[in-house]
C-alpha cells in the first residue's frame, strides 16, 4: 500500500508544480490538498422568533448581507456597518470611469469602453456551489455560462516547442496518445500480469486504443485517427481538393518534458469542472442583487476601530467618514463580524484569547489580476477562440477570454493575467501601469496581436487594497487543526463569518456557508438554547 505523502513531501510537490507550471497550477494543487471544496448547502436557514433582539453586522460583503437578510426575516433588528462607500466587498466589477487609489498611492484609472468590464475578485460560479446559485435565483440575478474549458486555447512553455504556444487540443491529444501507447506496450509485454487478469488486460487494451486514438498496432502515429483528435493540417473540404491532410504529432520527448500536462489537471479539479456560470453584466450584479434586499440597513463609510462585549451586549466603536470623521458607537445584543482577518488583527477586539489566536493564524494570499482592453476581438477573429483559458509558465499564468459578447464588433476586455504566489508579489510591487506593461509583454508570447491591438488596461493587486490587504484567507493544515473550530464558533455574543470561516476558502460560496452557520449559532444563542 502506498503511504500518504508527508507534509514535507506535499510542500516539495507544491514547489515543483509551481516551478514547472506556474502559480495558478500551484493554487489549484493547494485546493486539491483540502483547502477548497464543493458545497454542502441544501436549503436556507430556518429561523423564526427573533423577538426584536438587535444585531450589528460588520461588513456589507455577501456574508454580511446574507446574515442581514436572513436575520431580518426572522424578526431581528439589524444594522450593517460598512467601511466602503458601496456594498458587495470583493464581489465587484471594474468599469470605465472607475478610479481607485491603492496602498502606496498608485492610482487605478479604468478607461474601458461602455459595456466592457473586468472582475478583479470572483469571476465564475461552479455548478455545485448551491448556495450562491440559490440566492441568485431568489434575488433575480441572471446567470449565463462561463466558458472554462476550451480545446482551442493555447498552452505555452518558454522552454519547449521553441517557446511557441501550442493548441490545447493538439497537446492533449498527443499526451493522451503517447500515454495510451506506453500503457499498451506494458500490457502486451506482460508487465501488468500480476495486477490484471487476462480479460481485464484485453478490455484495457481496447480502452487504450480508443482513448489514445492508437492504430491497430497500438501506436500513436500520424494519421486520420489521431487527427480526428488533434485536428488536420488541411481541414476537410468540398470539391476535388476536399480530402483532409493529417497533422503531425509532436515528439513524445517534447510532450513529456514540456510540463504542460500539469494544466490538463486544472479542468479535472472538482471546483473547476463545467458547467460554470457568471452573472450577466458583471460579477457585481450579485452584490447588487443582495443589496436590493438589505440596502436600507447599511451605513457606508463606517470605519470600525473597536469591538467590545459583555454579558449584556456588544458595543462597536467606529468613525463616520461620511460626516467629517465623527466618532460613533453602536450597541446591539449580538454581532456578526465579517471583517477580513487581515484587517481584524489590526483592531481592538474583545474576545477570548483562543479566538484572538485563531484570528491571527490565517494569513492572506497575494493575488493580481490584469484587465486588458483591445480594439477588437482578435482571439475570435484570428484564432477562433471563444471563451476558455490559455495557460503559460510566465508570471501572468493564464489568459481568460470573455464568455459573453461573442462576434461583437469594437473593443473587448480579456483577463490578461491571474497570479498567486511569487508572481503575485512581483506584480504587486509594480505600479498599476507597470503591471499592465509586463502583462502585455508576456501575453505577446501567446498572441502576437497584443501590442498592435491594445487600447488600455488595469492591474489590480489585492495586497494593496486598503480594506483587505490580500485576496483571501489561506489556512495551513496545522492552523485548521488548531484554530478552525474556535474561529467558527460563537464567542459569547460575537460570531465571525466570511470565506475565511469555511472550508470553501477564496470562493463566494464559502462566505455564504459561513454566514448561514453564523446566523444559526446566533439564533440558537438568542433563543437561550446555547
Task: Quick: pLDDT tens for 335-368.
Answer: 999 999 999 999 999 999 999 999 999 999 999 9
Summary mean pLDDT of the chain? 92
pLDDT at position 34 over 60: no
Quick: pLDDT tens for 441-464.
999 999 999 999 999 999 999 999
Say what the pLDDT of residue 107 is: 97
Cα→Cα distances 29→10, 51, 99, 272, Å: 10, 47, 34, 12
Q: How far, in Å, CA of 187 to CA of 173, rounded?
A: 21
pLDDT of residue 50: 77
Given this model, what pLDDT does residue 37 score?
A: 57
In this prediction, residue 251 has a pLDDT band, given cuts at 50, 70 and 90, of very high
Residue 379 C-alpha cell reads as: 482571439
Cα separation values, 418 from 221, 347, 383, 395, Å: 36, 31, 22, 9
> Which whole number is the average pLDDT over 280-308?
98
CATH architecture of 167-257: Up-down Bundle (1.20)
* In 22-61, alpha helices (H): 23-30
94-152+273-282+365-464 to CATH, choices 3.40.50.620, 3.30.420.40, 3.90.660.10, 3.40.50.720:
3.90.660.10
pLDDT of residue 176: 96
Is the model's pLDDT at 18 over the cut of 50?
Answer: no
Which residues have a Cβ under 8 Å from the Cβ of 203 and sit 6 or more positions away?
none
Class (C level, CATH) for 54-89+290-363+475-526: alpha beta
Is residue 196 very low, low, confident or very high in pLDDT (cuts 50, 70, 90)?
low
Q: What is residue 133's predicted lDDT score, i.e. its pLDDT?
A: 98
Nearest by Cα to 264 from 387, 185, 166, 184: 166
Ordered by start, the domain boundaries in the chain are 54-89+290-363+475-526, 94-152+273-282+365-464, 167-257
Residue 195's pLDDT band (cuts 50, 70, 90): low
Between 476 and 7, the more confident residue is 476
Give, in order, the Cα–Cα distances in Å from 32 to each of 28, 265, 429.
Answer: 6, 11, 29
Higher-confidence position of 340 and 193: 340
Closest CA to 299 of 119, 57, 54: 57
Supply the pLDDT for residue 109. 98
Per-residue model confidence (pLDDT) at position 192: 66
Amino acid at each position: 500500500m502506498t503511504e500518504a505523502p508527508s507534509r514535507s513531501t506535499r510542500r516539495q510537490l507544491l514547489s515543483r508544480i509551481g516551478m514547472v507550471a506556474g502559480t495558478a497550477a500551484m493554487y489549484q494543487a493547494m485546493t486539491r490538498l483540502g483547502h477548497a471544496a464543493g458545497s454542502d448547502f441544501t436549503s436556507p436557514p430556518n429561523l423564526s422568533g427573533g423577538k426584536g433582539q438587535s444585531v450589528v453586522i460588520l461588513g456589507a460583503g455577501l456574508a454580511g448581507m446574507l446574515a442581514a437578510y436572513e436575520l431580518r426575516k426572522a424578526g431581528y433588528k439589524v444594522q450593517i456597518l460598512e467601511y466602503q462607500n458601496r456594498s458587495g466587498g470583493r464581489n465587484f466589477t471594474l468599469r470605465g470611469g472607475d478610479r481607485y487609489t491603492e496602498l502606496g498611492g498608485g492610482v487605478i484609472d479604468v478607461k474601458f469602453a461602455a459595456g466592457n468590464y473586468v472582475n478583479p475578485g470572483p469571476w465564475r460560479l461552479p455548478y455545485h456551489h448551491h448556495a450562491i446559485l440559490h440566492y441568485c435565483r431568489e434575488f433575480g440575478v441572471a446567470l449565463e455560462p462561463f466558458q472554462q474549458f476550451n480545446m482551442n486555447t493555447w498552452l505555452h512553455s518558454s522552454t519547449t516547442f521553441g517557446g511557441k504556444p501550442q493548441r490545447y487540443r493538439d497537446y492533449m491529444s498527443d499526451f493522451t496518445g503517447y500515454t495510451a501507447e506506453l500503457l499498451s506496450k506494458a500490457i502486451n509485454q506482460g508487465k501488468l500480469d500480476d495486477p490484471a487478469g487476462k480479460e481485464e488486460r484485453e478490455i484495457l487494451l481496447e480502452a487504450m486504443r480508443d482513448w489514445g486514438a492508437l492504430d491497430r498496432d497500438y501506436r500513436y502515429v500520424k494519421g486520420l485517427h489521431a487527427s480526428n483528435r488533434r485536428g488536420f493540417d488541411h481541414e476537410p473540404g468540398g470539391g476535388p481538393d476536399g480530402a483532409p491532410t493529417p497533422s503531425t504529432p509532436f515528439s513524445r520527448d517534447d510532450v513529456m518534458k514540456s510540463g504542460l500536462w500539469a494544466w490538463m489537471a486544472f479542468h479535472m479539479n472538482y471546483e473547476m469542472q463545467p458547467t460554470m456560470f457568471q452573472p450577466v453584466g458583471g460579477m457585481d450584479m450579485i452584490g447588487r442583487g443582495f443589496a436590493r434586499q438589505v440596502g436600507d440597513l447599511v451605513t457606508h463609510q463606517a470605519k470600525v476601530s473597536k469591538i467590545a462585549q459583555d454579558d449584556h451586549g456588544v458595543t462597536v466603536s467606529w468613525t463616520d467618514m461620511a460626516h467629517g470623521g465623527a466618532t460613533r458607537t453602536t450597541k446591539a445584543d449580538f454581532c456578526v463580524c465579517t471583517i477580513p482577518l487581515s484587517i481584524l488583527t489590526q483592531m481592538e477586539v474583545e474576545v477570548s484569547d483562543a479566538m484572538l489566536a485563531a484570528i491571527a493564524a490565517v494569513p492572506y494570499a497575494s493575488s493580481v489580476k490584469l484587465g486588458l482592453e483591445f480594439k477588437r476581438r482578435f482571439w475570435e477573429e484570428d484564432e477562433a477562440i471563444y471563451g476558455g483559458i490559455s495557460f503559460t509558465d510566465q508570471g501572468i499564468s493564464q489568459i481568460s477570454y470573455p464568455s459573453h459578447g461573442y462576434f461583437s464588433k469594437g473593443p473587448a476586455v480579456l483577463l490578461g493575467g491571474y497570479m498567486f504566489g511569487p508572481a503575485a508579489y512581483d506584480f504587486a510591487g509594480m505600479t498599476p501601469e507597470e503591471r499592465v506593461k509586463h502583462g502585455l509583454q508576456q501575453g505577446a508570447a501567446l498572441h502576437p496581436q497584443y501590442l498592435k491591438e491594445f487600447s488600455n488596461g488595469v492591474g489590480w493587486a489585492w495586497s494593496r487594497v486598503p480594506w483587505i490587504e490580500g485576496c483571501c484567507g489561506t489556512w495551513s493544515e496545522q492552523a485548521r487543526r488548531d484554530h478552525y473550530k474556535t474561529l467558527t464558533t460563537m464567542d459569547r455574543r460575537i460570531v465571525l463569518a466570511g470565506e475565511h470561516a469555511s472550508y470553501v476558502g477564496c470562493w463566494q460560496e464559502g462566505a455564504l456557508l459561513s454566514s448561514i452557520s453564523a446566523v444559526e449559532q446566533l439564533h440558537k444563542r438568542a433563543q437561550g438554547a446555547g
